[in-house]
Amino acid sequence: MAILSEDRIQLKANATSKEDAIKQCGALLVATGCVEPGYVDGMLAREETMSTYLGNGVAIPHGQFDNRAQIHNTGISVLQLAEGVEWEDGEKAYLIIGIAAQKDEHVSVLANLAEAIEDEDITEELISTSQKSVILEHLGKESEED
């Protein structure tokens, strides 16, 4: 199973709060068989203890260690918010990337995400694109191959 697929990408979505955004991201993971519904509760609980906002309009909600048993397949989901949602005081998130990783696979997942979003031009492209293929190109990499 690919780390990201078109059915786990929602473009031009709307969220009323960061909790709503996390639930929507989690729902994409649930609907595609990556996680059990209880994993979404873990994503919400993680956010209460530690912000998953990275900066540049990007947040990466994910579950807690205790939720690993609820993960069936490693995967990410992407929720692109046209209007953004306040994640921290004065900080809006426009690209919400839900992460579900078995074992230590999250390390490579996070490395790929960090590489893609550290470039502000790429981040802006991901936030504004109307094509799922652009999201897949930048965030769907399994591993770097030269």
Name the residue ranges covered by the structural domains of the chain: 6-139
Out of 62, 72, 106, 138, pick the active-site residue.
62
d(CA 126, CA 69): 31
Instruction: Please write the tens of the pLDDT for every residue from 93-128.
Output: 999 999 998 877 667 667 777 877 788 899 999 999
List, as one string, the DSSP characters of 49-81.
HS--EEETTEE--B--GGGGGGBSS-EEEEEEE
Closest CA to 95 of 52, 130, 127, 125: 127
Position 26, amino acid: G
Residues of the chain with pLDDT under 70: 1, 105-106, 108-109, 142-146
106 catalytic per annotation:
no
Enter the pTM of the model. 0.91
- Give pLDDT, residue 104: 72
Q: Could you tell me if 47 and 61 are in contact, meaning their C-beta atoms sit under 8 angstroms apart? A: yes
With a pLDDT cut of 70, the percent of the chain lying above it is 92
Provide the token pair at 133.
């293929």
Instruction: Classify domain 6-139 at the CATH topology level.
Output: Mannitol-specific EII; Chain A (3.40.930)
- Give pLDDT, residue 103: 76
